[in-house]
């Protein structure tokens, strides 16, 4: 699958040159010149990497980076900025960026850095931890979607259930908002009704919790989202 890149750059000629070159490399590129629009695009669509200028109309790149990191720790962010003092680079990285390249830059270097970042993602995905996981003594296999429930019976997850479960596990001990689950798992598809995620959580409790009526692993935070806590590991 083509990696999707959001390019945020207000200098028109640079934006079109970069778009073209990224597309030639096989990436799918969405671009904007405006900071506010960049955040809107990020919220309504899914990207693997964001190339972010700092000095932008309406919302600057550093603020955009902070906003994105409040909700999403995974998407790669690469700053591309004319601000190239050491302290400015530090500010960018502190805001949660993965990389920082100063303008003027060498196109080949930029493409290489992007390739390296996106490879890092592949490694994370093939991490054995993301292929199987144990909750309360119940083994879940994310390759075959099979699991054993709390009674020791084997059953299977739907693809969406597996994706939601994996997302909660990856974000262990953090509250994952409903919107985030919808964005990550349903992506461009038609969003399900609000009950769908609740029903998934109910089913996770039924399958993995010792006492589903008093959940300890799959917690709902009213009006905010859901949190996975792995008591098994905490108790060791
Ligand atoms: Ca600019």
| Dihedral over alpha carbons 24, 25, 27, 31 (to 10 degrees) | -60
Of 72, 95, 125, at which residue does a domain stop?
125
Tell me which residue range forms the domain holding 25.
4-125
- pLDDT tens-digit readout, 84-131: 788 888 899 999 999 999 999 999 999 999 999 998 865 554 455 567
- pLDDT tens-digit readout, 7-32: 999 999 999 999 999 999 999 999 99
C-alpha 78 – ligand 1 centre gap (Å): 14
CB atoms within 10 A of CB 8: 28
Total-model pTM? 0.57
C-alpha 169 – ligand 1 centre gap (Å): 38
pLDDT attached to residue 232: 59
Measured distance CA(175)–CA(223) in Å, rounded: 11
Q: How many domains does one find in the chain?
A: 2
Pair (104, 132) in one structural domain: no
- pLDDT tens-digit readout, 129-161: 567 888 888 989 988 889 999 999 999 999 899
C-alpha 15 – ligand 1 centre gap (Å): 10
Measured distance CA(82)–CA(7) in Å, rounded: 16
Pair (10, 105) in one structural domain: yes
């Amino acid at each position: 699958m083509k990696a999707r890149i959001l390019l945020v750059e207000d200098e028109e000629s640079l934006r079109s040159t970069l778009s073209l070159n990224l597309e030639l490399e096989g990436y799918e590129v969405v671009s904007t010149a405006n900071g506010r629009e960049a955040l809107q695009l990020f919220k309504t669509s899914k990207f693997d990497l964001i190339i972010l200028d700092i000095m932008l109309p309406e919302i600057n790149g550093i603020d955009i980076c902070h906003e994105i990191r409040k909700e999403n720790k995974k998407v790669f962010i690469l700053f591309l900025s004319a601000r190239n003092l050491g302290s400015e680079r530090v500010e960018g990285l502190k805001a949660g960026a993965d990389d920082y390249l100063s303008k003027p830059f060498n196109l080949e270097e930029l493409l290489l850095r992007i390739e390296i970042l996106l490879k890092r993602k592949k490694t994370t995905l093939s991490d054995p931890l993301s292929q199987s996981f144990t909750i309360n003594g119940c083994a879940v296999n994310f390759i075959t979607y099979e699991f054993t429930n709390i009674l020791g019976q084997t059953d299977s997850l739907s693809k969406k259930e597996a994706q939601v479960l994996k997302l909660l596990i990856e974000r262990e001990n953090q509250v994952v908002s409903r919107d985030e689950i919808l964005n990550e798992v349903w992506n461009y598809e038609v969003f399900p009704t609000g009950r769908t995620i609740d029903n998934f959580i109910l089913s996770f409790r039924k399958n993995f919790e010792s006492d589903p009526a008093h959940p300890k692993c799959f917690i709902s935070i009213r009006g905010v989202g859901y949190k996975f806590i792995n008591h098994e590991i905490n108790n060791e």
